[in-house]
A and B are shown apart, each in its own frame.
Chain A
Amino acid sequence: EDKVVQSPLSLVVHEGDTVTLNCSYEVTNFRSLLWYKQEKKAPTFLFMLTSSGIEKKSGRLSSILDKKELFSILNITATQTGDSAVYLCGLGGSQGNLIFGKGTKLSVKP
């Protein structure tokens, strides 16, 4: 059964800190792994990682995929209060859907 586990479930940091969010997975047939940010509304897309694209970066956010060890990390450097959100990791499932982890709630204090 395809499965996604995110850790930690919650995290509190101060502005300027660097954070690393973890996503480990089990999958029969890997298609993709996606990261989303959710701020009390709909999830918004951040990154998609595939066999041909195992590293992505956008500004202060970056993500890598380790297909051998079956995990991905999302890094946020120089955190800001606007980074406070729930970060979701989704695994491309066999039905074309995404199988989501429970998310990591990040709180950035001023």
Chain B
Amino acid sequence: DAGITQSPRHKVTETGTPVTLRCHQTENHRYMYWYRQDPGHGLRLIHYSYGVKDTDKGEVSDGYSVSRSKTEDFLLTLESATSSQTSVYFCAISTGPGNEQFFGPGTRLTVL
């Protein structure tokens, strides 16, 4: 299995609080992605990174920010969590665009 970990694996928080999710890889892959998965919507891209300090928005980026200061770490921040951000968040890594992506174990976030 690709070396990808996510932390925390589960989190319950309250509306309005900031939340940071971490993705850590040991594969030295250049591309990293954050997706959210919701019933009826499938997997949707939030943000992605194509190198250290190089990030861009995905389909559902509103309310989220990201940072990548090291190759191995990609952080997703919800500045002020809302109930609509209750979801399962997956990190993925890839060697390049269009190549296979390997997914982390996911983080289940509940915003009350």
Residues on A lying within 8 angstroms of B by beta carbon are: 31-32, 34, 41-45, 48, 50, 88, 90, 92-93, 95-103
Contact = CB atoms under 8 A, between A and B. Distances in A.
A34 B56 CA distance: 22
Contact of B97 (A96, A99, A100): A96
B90 A92 contact: no
Contact of A103 (B42, B56, B100): B42
Contacts of B42: 88, 100-103
Nearest to A91: B98
Nearest to A43: B103
Given A42-B90, A96-B94, A88 B100 contact: no
Contacts of B58: 95, 97
A88 B106 CA distance: 16
A33 to B, nearest CB: 9
Nearest to A98: B101
A93 B100 CA distance: 12
Interface stretch (B43-51, B70-78, B79-87): B43-51
A68 B106 CA distance: 36
Given A102-B41, A103-B42, 20 more contacts: A31-B97, A31-B98, A32-B99, A34-B101, A41-B106, A42-B106, A43-B90, A45-B102, A48-B99, A50-B98, A92-B99, A95-B48, A95-B56, A97-B33, A98-B43, A98-B45, A98-B101, A99-B45, A100-B42, A102-B42
